Amino acid sequence: MRTVFVNPERCIGCLQCEIACATEHSSSKNVASAFLEAPQPRARIHVEPGPVPSTAYPNRCRHCDPAPCAQVCPTGAIHRDRGLGVVLVDEDRCISCAMCAVVCPFDAVTFYPSAAGPGPEVAVALKCDGCVERLRRGQPPACVEACKVGALVFGDLNDLVAAGRLRATAAVLAATAAAPPGPPDPLAAWHAFGAELVAAAGHAARPTHDRGGER
């Protein structure tokens, strides 16, 4: 299955994926005018702070299978496109009960008014739809196309996981090769002295003819 894979170590928090996502889900599809629309288009990917300062993580729907959000939706507004493997929301059927948000393990569901919803003032469930229309045209999702650092990549899941493991292995090997030597031995001088004593004792114990006729 083709999906979006996240390389969090590459994310620089530029928010270009959020801008591209909101533009793709606007009526105009134009970045200059999309944010003047009503209701305002919203990003379905969210760049969140990473575990340490100066790091970031682009969080998005994982399109779980089975999907807890689809299992608890009382109106059937959330369903899976089996052909593309993405979980979609029929915004016109959403009743804003927020059950999907409660069970989502990745905090990937938000609630805002949508042009495809029941009304401009009615908040409905919004989540990543994989840019389903782009997928049907054979294009990658907008967030992937906008990411310039490779934090978001699109492809077959098995291939992406294998590539990620190769990168991790290479990083570990590089770190091991570049690791500084251990702390200095505080008894190094004594160890050297002991080695000299052992060598001298061995030399003294050798027969005279083995020492080249020394007297």
3-state secondary structure of 56: strand
Higher-scoring residue by pLDDT: 195, 54: 54
Position 54 scores a pLDDT of 85
**Omega of the bond leading into 8 within 30 degrees of 0 (cis):** no
- In terms of C-beta distances under 8 Å and separation of at least 24 residues, what long-range contacts does 111-119 make, across chains too? 112/39, 112/40, 112/42, 113/39, 114/39, 114/42, 115/27, 115/37, 115/39, 115/41, 116/91, 116/92, 117/91, 117/92, 118/91, 118/92, 118/94
User: What's the rounded Cα separation, in Å, for the pair 101 and 78?
Assistant: 12
Please compute the mean of the pLDDT values over residues 108-131 and round it to a whole number: 93
Asked whether 69 and 78 are in contact (CB, 8 A), the reply is yes
Please compute the mean of the pLDDT values over residues 6-33 and round it to a whole number: 94
Instruction: Domain ranges for the chain, please list them.
Output: 2-176
Question: pLDDT tens digits for 66-96?
Answer: 999 999 999 999 999 999 999 999 999 999 9
Amino acid of residue 199: A
Position 166 scores a pLDDT of 82
The helix (run of H) or strand (run of E) holding residue 78 is: strand 78-81
Asked whether 132 and 64 are in contact (CB, 8 A), the reply is no
Position 203 scores a pLDDT of 66
Q: Is the pLDDT of residue 29 over 80?
A: yes
pLDDT category at 59 given cuts 50, 70, 90 is very high
Position 199 scores a pLDDT of 77
Higher-scoring residue by pLDDT: 31, 202: 31
Spacing of C-alpha 183 from chain mean position: 35
Residue 181 φ/ψ, nearest 5 degrees: -65, 165
User: What's the rounded Cα separation, in Å, for the pair 34 and 40?
Assistant: 7
% of residues, the chain, pLDDT over 90: 62
User: What's the rounded Cα separation, in Å, for the pair 212 and 60?
Assistant: 80
The architecture CATH gives domain 2-176: 2-Layer Sandwich (3.30)
Position 44 scores a pLDDT of 96
Please compute the mean of the pLDDT values over residues 115-120 and round it to a whole number: 84
**Omega of the bond leading into 68 within 30 degrees of 0 (cis):** no
